[in-house]
Structure 1
Amino acid sequence: MRLKTIQLAGFKSFVDPTTVSFPSNMSAVVGPNGCGKSNVIDAVRWVMGESSAKTLRGESMSDVIFNGTTNRQPVGQASIELVFDNSDGGIGGAYGAYAEISVRRQVIREGGSDYFLNGSKCRRRDITDLFLGTGLGPRSYAIIEQGMISRLIESKPEELRVFIEEAAGISKYKERRRETENRMRRTLENLERLTDLRDELERQLAHLKRQAQAAERYREYKAEDRELKSQLLALQWREQKAASTSTETAVAELEVLQERHRAELAKVASGIESVRVAHADATDQFNEVQAEYYSIGGEVTRVEQALRFEQERREGVTQDLAQTEASLSQAQGHLTADRDRLQQWRTELASLEPQLIQFRDDSASGAESLSRAEEAMVAWQTQWDAFNERAAGPTKTSEVQQSRIVYLEQVLGRLQERIARLEHEREQIKDDDTQTDIEALETRIAEAESRVSDREQSVLDHTASITHCRESIESARQEQDQLRQRLQQSKGQQSSLVALQEAATAEGESARARAWLTEHSITARGSVFESLKVADGWAPAVEQVLGDSLTGVCVDGATAVGLGKLEQLPTGACLVDSAVTVAPRSGTLAELVEGAGALAATLNTIFPAPTLAAALEQLAELAPGESVITPDGHWLGLGWVRLRSGADVTTGMIERRQRLEDLSGDIARDQAALDEVEGRLRALGVQRTESESALSLVQQELKQAVREQADLAAERKSSLAAIDQTRERQRRLESDIAEATAQFESEQRALGESRALLADALDHMERDALERDELQQQRETHRSTLQSARDRARDARDAVHRTDMQAQGLKTQIQTVADAINRLEQQVAQLSSRRGELVAQLPEGDDPDAALKSELEALLAQRVTSESALTAARQQVAEHEHALREAEQEKVAVEHRLQGVHGEIESKRLAQAELRVRIENNERQLRELDAIPAEVAQALPDEASESEWQVKVERVSAKISRLGPINLAAIEECGRASERKEYLDAQNEDLESALATLESAIRKIDKETRSRFRDTFDQVNAGFSELFPRVFGGGTASLEMTGDDLLDTGVAIMARPPGKKNSTIHLLSGGEKAMTAIALVFSIFQLNPAPFCMLDEVDAPLDDANVGRYARLVKEMSEAVQFIFITHNKITMEAADRLMGVTMHEPGVSRLVTVDIDEAAQLAAS
């Protein structure tokens, strides 16, 4: 398959309809920057399903529509159509039979995007599926645009894996695996929902069974619970009544005690008041004595403080005088020492002045010598730099020519190897009998296609059969559900009617009559109503007439029983002789009743009337003893009327019997129909199983036939390609051998020139070496002189600096000592003055504090007297306080006792109120239970206790609680739930089987994916390792897996160009990365060539030598792959068979100009 044409209209700058044809395998698109060349590649990527506007160099999908220029209006839609030549069957499947395939995409500015396949509208998914496994796609390795080379080579291992997958053709397997996983996920979700339903249904079944068993126990427990609760309430009522009486007596006694405590409290309060008055008088006396005592104490304190102050003042003056004299002596000593040091330092400073002058002269001389040595060194350096600049030329020439010689020798070696390999291959390539093999393959392909067609038809037939079976099964199951529901309803009605009939015959005189017959060993023939068959609508009238006779018992020879036995017959019993028959009278009620027997005599005197009005009219015609009755049971006779009474035991017995007969027939018919449906379901299930087994077998045969057909088609394609490749290869080998030979001779000439240039450069390098040695000796002499001058200058500077610093230090010390002497002289004067002042402050006389001491002694005597009076007053106050506290404590005790009694009274009253509320509540509850408290309590034993009855109630309540909710219809619901459970179990088995099938399919897909990925990786790696040295002229490269699992492992590139030791691809230059990416992409193409390859300025970062290799490689691969490349490089243009120029004569509008290189060459030659 190959790309035939691209038709553009309204797409980006191609506003006018433009058709780009690709008749050859080497088509180049050229033109200036910005003219729209890359829009051709964007168009191909867009029509193949690209959905990212950013990838198409836009912000939204509407950006691909021509947006107008200054001279043109915008257009409303863009359309791209790719036309493929599929004559070789490169695209298989449903479109494999088409020789030409058209893929078109159009978009309108409002946002709608449509795809068309051979003119028919389709989905984007259909376009993607069409190219699966071909190497084509919106992001495949077949379209390499600007910047994609660097992104490809620097992509993450997971992203690089995608290219290997596409080359392996496993993208379709991944798509199938994704679809299978989706189906598995949906199946698992359905299985989870089904499991939840089944679990819930199981719980419901267990619940229903428990309900059915618990219903009867519930009624028994409920009655017992009601009785026990009544008795428990009566017990509580009795005890509460007794407690209420006891509480009233206790309250009366507590009120008497409360009055007694109140009188005691009043007495204690009176005594406290008299004690409080005496305490107040004692307190006033104590305050007066205490005030006098505090006044004397204040005077004592004042005199003592005056004495202490005077003593402290004298001690302070004495201490200050001693300190002043010591400081004065110390300052005079320091002053003498400082004057001696000042004289010594002035002498030393005078001796340093001559030395400093001499050192400064030596320093100036050293600086001058250093300057001369540095100037000589600079002059030598200038001479050395000039020599190096002159000698660099031959050295560089030598290095360049040596590298060139090594390179040329390697090139010559590779050329020799290539020529030998090409000649060897030319000798080995020969035509074979491939054409005969192809004819045999065609026959086998036709047979395989016939088998596939047959199997596909079988699959359709079996699928239709399975679908029909499933629809029939579903219809039968619905019919089965309806029949079961109707059957259950009929049986329920039958059970209810049978219960009513049994209740009617089991009560009253009929039951006693049957018991009497059994006792006397008389055989009963059944009830009277069972033998009657009444016309429709007249059952109420017959029941009205016969009344209790309907429940009578039929016996043989009722009148022959004997008088003795008949007298023992229960009162009200009815026996009818079944052997007696009476002919019905025409026009009477007897005609409407069959099987009346002896009772027909009664019915013969009664005439039927359709309505009550008709009965009234007919009444006048009746003879004595005759009567008339309506269908509703209104019975009229001469002078009397009996209307239909309310429901009793006999009401509806005849209708119920007739209804029971009808129900028995319905149940029999429904049961037969249900058995037939269930048999049909079993047959349909067997038929479906057989059809599914047959379908599975046919599907396996279809898969095998499709695989055989695909393998044969691939083998045919490979054989055809092998013939074409062999013939084309023979032609190319001749051309390659001639080209390699010419290149070998050219490289030999270049090698000779490089060797001559190398010899000349080596001669110049020998002469420069002698001059370099002489200059290096001069450099050592200058360096030694310069170092000596620097040492002398440095020593002189150090001496000047050292002496100057010493002189400065002495000057600083002299100034510091002089300042200290001035301060010390001032301090000595101040200390002398201070000493005189302190001597004047010292007191005169032997005892200066005699007056204060005398005053203090008198005050101390007064304080002792006052303290004795204060102690006596405090003692009296303490005694009164003690008496007051005792009285207060007694009052608190009485109040506490009073409060206790009051609280107890309130507690008793509250308890009594609660008892009244409880008694009323219990009486109300007992009334609700229709019980009288006194009667129920009287019936209980005296030793009965509330706790005992409470345990009984709780035990019964627990039994009721354990029963849970009660459902009387549990049996019927349980049956329906069981049927539903069986249906869900069958569905669960089907889903589990489908899940196992899907898991098996995924395992097969994973196995095939791993196998294909491993094989493809190894082949691409081998091709990459072979192409890389060809592209670079040496070096090594390989691909490595980053993980162990072949399903998701990444792929990393390791590349080492010639002479380099790069460990990863990221260390390569831009050009090296581009060449590496080219080698990788072309190695993928060698393994699984895509129908075409589009290259957008891939050669931009390459130099001319690498562009030449790139062009030759593309030319070689164009034998099997169609190349469409955009370029600005003239070398690449020369390799093309057809040039297509994109121009913009009109700003913003791209136009196409096409030139066939061979035709242009012929025209130029002519």
Structure 2
Amino acid sequence: MRLKSIKLAGFKSFVDPTTVNFPSNMCSVVGPNGCGKSNIIDAVRWVLGESSAKNLRGEAMTDVIFNGTTHRQPVGQASIELIFDNTSGKLVGEYAAYAEISVRRVVGREGTSEYWLNGAKCRRRDITDLFLGTGLGPRSYAIIEQGMISRLIESKPEELRIFIEEAAGISKYKERRRETESRMRRTLENLDRLADLREELERNLQHLLRQSQAAEKYAEFRAEERELKAQFLGLQWREHQANSKVSQQALTDLDIKQEAERAEFERVGASIEGTRVSLAEATDAFNTVQADYYSVGGEVTRVEQALKYEQERRATIESDLLQTREGLQESRGHLNADTERLSSWRSELESLQPMLSEQRGAADSAAGVSAAAEEAMTQWQSQWDEFNQRAAGPKQASEVQQSRIAYLEQVLQRIHERGGKLRKELEALANEDVDRDLPELEAQIRSGEDAVKAQEEALLQLDTEVAAQRAGIERLRDEQDQARARLQQLKGQEASLQALQEAALAEGDVTATQQWLADLGFSDRGNVYEALQVQDQWTTAVECVLAARLTGVCTESFSQAQAVFDTAPAGASILAAGEVGTGVTGTLAEKVVGPASVLSVLAGVHVAENLVTAREQLASLKNTASVITPEGDWIGCGWASRPSKTDAGQGIILRKASLDGVAAEISGLEASLETINQTLAELQESRRANEDQRRAGEATLKRHVQEQAAKVTERGARVAAVEQTRQRTAQLQADLADSGSQFETEQASLAAARSELQVAIEQMALDGEQRAALSQERDQLNRQLQTAREQAREARDNAHRTDVRVQSLDSQAETVASSIARLEQQVEQLQGRVRDLTEQLPVGDNPDAELQSELETLLAQRVDAETALTAARQLVSDNDHALREQEKLKLAAEHRLQSIYSELESGRLQQAERNVRIENLEGLLRELEVSPQEVVEGLPEGASEPEWQVKVERVAARIARLGPINLAAIDEYAKASERKTYLDAQDADLQEALQTLEGAIRKIDKETRSRFKETFEQINSGFAELFPRVFGGGTANLEMTGDDLLDTGVAIMARPPGKKNSTIHLLSGGEKAMTAIALVFSIFQLNPAPFCMLDEVDAPLDDANVGRYARMVKEMSERVQFIFITHNKITMEAANHLMGVTMHEPGVSRLVTVDIEEAAQLAAS
């Protein structure tokens, strides 16, 4: 397999469609810097799946699209297509039968990439999978770009391992291992989630079991609690009724006492008003006297402050004058001392100047002697360097030849040993039968694929059915919940209506009437309102007219009613049922359908739509007639009535109609709910059957997939083994032939190296005599130079010390002169300050006498004002005391009145609270469907509230100990048990799948270790062989950095001839490049990629090494296709075809191709 051509369009600088053909195995791309040569290699890397824009020398993936020039517009997309010749069948799998493989990648401005394989759109993953194990990839050893040589040789052990893996063909195993590990992680995550669900279900199951057991106890305790609560409420009702009568009498007594206290309170209030007037007059007189007192006090304060200010000012001036005189005396002392120091330093400076001139002259003379000695030593060093440079040649040649001889002897030994190993390995490969049973395995795989596909289709059909069933179940459950909620609502509404109807029917003295009807045998007869059909608008009017008759009993005939009516108790009502008919037009009977006896009562009442119409209609009727409206407003001759909300029978007919409607809707909902429950049960049973069938199908599918995966893995291993055996056989035969020719070449090289070593040894003996003479001359010159340097340094130090002292004295004198000027200025300022302060001192013996006299006068006035103020204050105090005493009396009366009022309000509030409690207790008893009188009558003798409260609390505690009660616990327990069984089965399936994946990883690891070890040893052997050929000597090898073959790194150890470096990083740039070339070529010897691209690999090499590099590439081109970019003429000479890249138009690359053989023929002709 080889690269046939590259088609570029819109990629970087190749804007025009360009086809780069590679007709031979030695094609060189040449051209000036910046013309776009490396873009060809970037194009190959990009098509093979490179996803990092940085590795393509860009910032974003869209940077590979031509971005325009000054004369060209940008294009919208970039396209690269690689054409491979696969006539050798190197690719395995479905594309092995294709003689030509096309791989294309296209990217647009939106940044999305598209991949095409033989004209079919595919994924990036398909491209990388296609070349797994072939040595090709976006970052494989087959593409060596600028700078990659140094990165390769300096890469970390883990990064270098990747090249070994690619050569070993185990990158596809690593990819499968990653996929398997990803499946294992997902399986473990599913197991964790499943374990959480199972644990939660287990807890719920135990909880539901306890709840179902507690449900029966709950019902029993609730019934007992209901009875005890009713009795306890009855006891409370009886107690509050008794207390209410006692508190009412106490409230009456408090009202009388309150009136008496209120009269006393008003009398004290009138007395207080008179005292307040006297207090106001005394307060006004006090305010006037107090104002005079404050005025005199202000004048006293003013004079005292002025006197104090004058005294403080005089003291401050005297203190400042004393401090200024002391400062003046101190400044004059400093001035005298500085003047004396300045005179002394100037005298010393005059004596040092002549000495400094003499010392500088002596230093200049000594420096001239030292410079002459330095020049003599420099001339000798030049002679010595020339000698060493000339003498290093024979020595280096001797070391090189010694290393070369040792290396060649080792090479000859290794070639001999390697030949024996190659022959043994060829014999072993010839005896292997690796392609046995491969056709049968292919047939089994195809059969397995059909079975898996059929099973997957069946599972998909089941999934569709189960999803539809689950959706139906959810819909039915929603309908079920809605129906149950509506049914519960209707039953509550029915119970409320029924309770209201029973309460309306029970008003009045019904007990005696019921007993009377039971004695006559009429207790099963219906009520009157049950036999009526009333138009909705007129139900209120009918109820107003019939009133208590609505709750009466219907008999079979009027005679029967008359016969029994004589014994009827008060409040009883009996009507004959008779025939059902309709009433007279215009009367209330017209609006009703019912017994004739009822219609006769309603026939005397006319109807009107409103009161206005009713009044007009009543004027034309007889005096005995009456008119009623739909709202129940009923008027007659001289009377009128309007119903209240509490009238007997109010709403009975309307509630009966509502009850009938609610009952009908409840019946319909119960039937609908029964249908929903039946449909839901059938659908759930069908879903469970489908899920059981699906689980069985999944188990079958999983078994098929596992078997299929094992067969596919085995087939891949066998195909790879067959291909590897074929390639290895061809490689061994070629290596065996190369080994023979190489043995003869190395023997000749060994003889030449020994001859050159003898010549170098003889020259080294002659150089030794000249070295001794030059060494003696060097010792004499060193002694002279040392003496001159010491003398020059001593003279220079003396002059320097004197110069430093002169500069120091100059600086000090300048500083003291500045200080003297500053002190003279300071003395002058202090003298002026003394004069100013002396002038500010006051003159005279007693300057404050006038202020002192004024102060004494004001003090006498303040004493008189203070006496008047005391008398006025006493008058105000007396009046105020009297007022406070009277207010105390008023406050005491008010407190007594407030106490009585509070006691009265508290009593009223307590009485209201008792009434509310009594009403609440009666309401609670009604909710329990019992009356207070019935409960009190049924209580045993000696029953008390504390005793019954204890009983109620005891039952409530039993219910509380049961905790929350779930009446639907049994059904929920069954559903949870079913789900637990299903999850347990899933857990078992996942555990089995996890074991299968672990087994697959162990198998992959075993194969990876075996292949990596074998490949490493072969590459190491080839590297150790190629390195001396590249360098002309030296040793190199690969070392594993760890013990585990699955993740160990690989380190390079290389020692060129004559060097004993401890690390690869100590090598020069050229040596690193040659070492990397040897390693890459050793990989190609083992597992050659379809082609190798080299981008200016020879740049750091000198001509000699470039020649060896070119010869090695030429030799390997017999088996590997090489495409290399170079600027070196030696490398160009080795190429069969030259492809020149030019940029005649700025920013646009074009291709020019030259056939070297054809060009040579043209030149010869």
Short-chain TM bin: 0.5 to 0.7
Alignment correspondent of 1:544: none
SS at match of 1:141: coil
Deviation at 1:129, TM superposition (A): 1.6
- Asked if 1:377 corresponds to 2:370, the answer is yes
1:146 is matched with 146
Partner of 2:137: 137
Distance 1:52 1:1141 in 2: 28
Tell me which residue corresponds to 2:988: 989
Structure 1 residue 450 corresponds to structure 2 residue 440: yes
1:407 and 2:400 matched: yes
Partner of residue 1089, structure 2: 1090
Question: How far off its partner does 1:780 sit?
Answer: 4.8
1:1127 corresponds to: 1126
Structure 1 runs not aligned, ≥5 long: 490-645, 647-659
Where does 1:293-692 land on structure 2 (aligned, <5 Å)? 364-419=357-412, 421-422=414-415, 437=430, 441=433, 445-454=435-444, 456-457=446-447, 460-461=450-451, 464=454
Closer/same/farther in 2, CA of residues 976 and 282 from structure 1, 3 Å limit: closer
1:57: how far off? 4.0
Does residue 1:122 correspond to 2:102, yes or no? Answer: no
**2:882, 2:222 → 1: CA distance?**
74
What is the match of residue 590 of structure 1?
none
Q: Percent identity?
A: 45
Q: Is the CA contact (8 Å cut-off) linking 1:211 and 1:965 kept in structure 2?
A: no
* 1:450–1:1035 CA distance, 2 compared to 1 (3 A): same
Q: Secondary structure at the match of 2:29?
A: strand
Cα displacement string for residues 1024-1066 of structure 1 (whole angstroms, at most 9, x for unaligned residues): 6666566556667676777887766766666666677766666
Q: State the Cα distance separating 1:1099 from its structure 2 match.
A: 1.8
Q: Pick closer, same or farther for the CA change 1:431–1:1038 going to 2, 3 Å.
A: closer
Q: Distance in 2 between matches of 1:266 and 1:969?
A: 76
C-alpha displacement at 1:102, in angstroms? 4.0
User: Do the aligned residues in 2 keep the contact of 1:923 with 1:933 (CA within 8 Å)?
Assistant: no
1:1099 aligns with 2:1131: no
Task: State which drifts further: 754-763 or 767-776.
Answer: 754-763
- Asked if the contact 1:3/1:82 (under 8 Å) is kept, the reply is yes
What is the identity, as a one-letter code, of the residue corresponding to 2:258?
A: E
1:241 equivalent to 2:244? Answer yes
Q: Which amino acid aligns with 2:1101?
A: L
Q: Check the 8 A contact 2:279/2:880 in 1, yes or no.
A: no
Output the amino acid matched with 2:447.
Q
Greater shift in the superposed pair: 946-955 or 140-149: 946-955
TM-aligned CA distance change 1:115 to 1:428, over 3 Å: closer
Measured after TM superposition, the shift of residue 1010 of structure 1 is: 6.1
Bigger shift: residues 246-255 or 121-130: 246-255
Give the CA deviation at 1:1098: 1.7
In structure 2, do the counterparts of structure 1 residues 754 and 209 end up closer, same or farther at CA, with 3 Å as the change threshold?
same
CA deviation digits over 1:913-947, x for unaligned, max 9? 65466456556656655466677678768977767
Q: Deviations over 1:620-641 (max 9, x none)?
A: xxxxxxxxxxxxxxxxxxxxxx
Name 1:579's counterpart in structure 2: none
What SS does the aligned partner of 2:94 have? helix
Deviations 1:892-914 (A, max 9, x none): 65465455445545544654565
Find the counterpart in structure 2 of residue 506 from structure 1: none
**Change in CA separation of 1:722 and 1:997 when aligned onto 2, cut-off 3 Å:** closer
1:463 Cα offset (Å):
7.3
Please report how far the alpha carbon of residue 128 of structure 1 lies from its aligned counterpart in structure 2 after TM superposition.
1.7
Residue aligned with 2:146, SS: coil
Name the structure 2 match of 1:574. none
Determine which of 728, 748, 751 is the counterpart of 2:734: 728
Query: Residue 409 of structure 1 aligns to which amino acid in structure 2?
Result: Q
User: How far 1:990 sits from its partner (Å)?
Assistant: 2.9
Residue 179 of structure 1 corresponds to 179
Measure how far apart 1:674 and its partner are. Answer: 13
SS, match of residue 50 in structure 1: coil
Cα pair 1:9 1:79 within 8 Å, conserved: yes
Partners of 1:773 and 1:1153 in 2: CA distance: 67
> Cα distance 1:969–1:257, how it changes in 2: closer, same or farther (>3 A)?
same
CA contact (8 A) 1:725 1:1119 kept: no
Give the equivalent residue in structure 2 for 1:44: 44
Is 1:349–1:807's contact at 8 Å kept on the other side of the alignment? no
1:881–1:397 distance in 2 versus 1, CA, 3 Å? farther
Aligned-partner Cα distance in 2 for 1:774–1:257: 145
Q: Distance in 2 between matches of 1:871 and 1:449?
A: 138
- 1:215·1:968 contact (CA, 8 Å) conserved in 2? no
Verify: 1:779 aligned to 2:779, yes or no: no
Q: CA deviation at 1:410?
A: 2.0
What are the Cα deviations for residues 366-423 of structure 1, in whole angstroms up to 9, with x where unaligned? 5444443433433443444344334432233334553343234323432344356546
Alignment partner, residue 551 of structure 2: none
Offset of residue 160 of structure 1: 4.4
Q: Is the 8 A contact 2:435 2:722 kept in 1?
A: no
Q: Is the 8 A contact 2:1055 2:1061 kept in 1?
A: yes
Equivalent residue of 1:407, what SS?
A: helix
Query: Helix, strand or coil: the match of 1:133?
Result: coil
Whether 1:259 aligns to 2:252 is: no
Change (3 A) 1:999 1:213: farther
* Matched ranges for 1:579-978 at <5 A: 695=704, 713-733=719-739, 735-737=741-743, 739-740=745-746, 765-780=771-786, 782-783=788-789, 786=792, 794=799, 797=802, 890=885, 893-894=888-889, 897-898=892-893, 900-901=895-896, 903-905=898-900, 907-908=902-903, 911=906, 914-915=909-910, 918=913, 921-922=916-917, 925=920, 930=926, 975=974, 978=977
How many angstroms does 1:241 deviate by?
3.3
**In structure 1, distance between residues paired with 2:74 and 2:232:** 94
Residues 128 and 288 (structure 1), Cα distance of their counterparts in 2 relative to 1, 3 Å cut: closer
Secondary structure in structure 2 of the residue aligned to 1:91: coil
User: Matches of 1:293 and 1:74 in 2, distance apart?
Assistant: 104
1:144 CA displacement: 1.6
Deviates more, 1:684-693 or 1:1004-1013: 684-693
Cα distance change on mapping 1:420 and 1:297 into 2, 3 Å = closer
- 1:137, CA displacement in angstroms? 1.5
> Partners in 2 of 1:121 and 1:209 — Cα distance?
62
Could you tell me the TM-score, scaled by structure 2's length? Answer: 0.62
Name the CA shift for 1:252/1:913 in 2 (closer, same or farther; >3 Å).
closer
Task: Please give the root-mean-square deviation of Cα atoms over the aligned residues, in Å.
Answer: 6.8
1:115 is displaced (CA, Å) by: 3.3
Determine the C-alpha separation between the residues in 2 that align with 1:243 and 1:1051: 108
Q: Which protein is bigger by CA-based radius of gyration?
A: 1
Structure 1 distance, partners of 2:310, 2:1132, is 127
Question: TM-score normalised to the size of structure 1?
Answer: 0.62
- Shift, 1:138, TM fit: 1.7
Deviations 1:244-289 (A, max 9, x none): 5377357537625743772685498489769969987998999899
Is the CA contact (8 Å cut-off) linking 2:363 and 2:799 kept in structure 1? Answer: no
CA distance, structure 2, for counterparts of residue 117 and residue 939 of structure 1 = 98
Q: Is the 8 A contact 2:349 2:809 kept in 1?
A: no
Rounded to whole Å, the distance in 2 between the matches of 1:983 and 1:811 is 104
Counterpart-to-counterpart distance in 1, 2:52 and 2:1112:
32
Task: Tell me, in whole angstroms, the C-alpha distance in 1 between the residues paired with 2:102 and 2:308.
Answer: 127
CA distance in 1, matches of 2:893, 2:1041: 96
Relative to structure 1, the CA distance from residue 338 to residue 1041 in structure 2 (aligned partners, 3 Å threshold; closer, same or farther) is same
Between 1:179-188 and 1:421-430, the stretch displaced more is 421-430
Instruction: Say which SS state the counterpart of residue 994 (structure 1) adopts.
Output: helix
CA contact (8 A) 1:275 1:880 kept: no
* Partner in structure 2 of residue 513 of structure 1: none
C-alpha change, 1:803 and 1:1041, in structure 2 (3 Å) is closer
User: Quick check: 2:142–2:1093 contact (8 Å CA) kept in 1?
Assistant: yes
Question: For the structure 1 residues 285 and 1010, does the alpha-carbon distance in structure 2 shift closer, same or farther, using more than 3 Å as the test?
Answer: same
1:1092 offset after TM fit, Å? Answer: 3.0
- Conservation of the 8 A alpha-carbon contact between 1:78 and 1:107: yes
Match of 1:166 in 2: 166
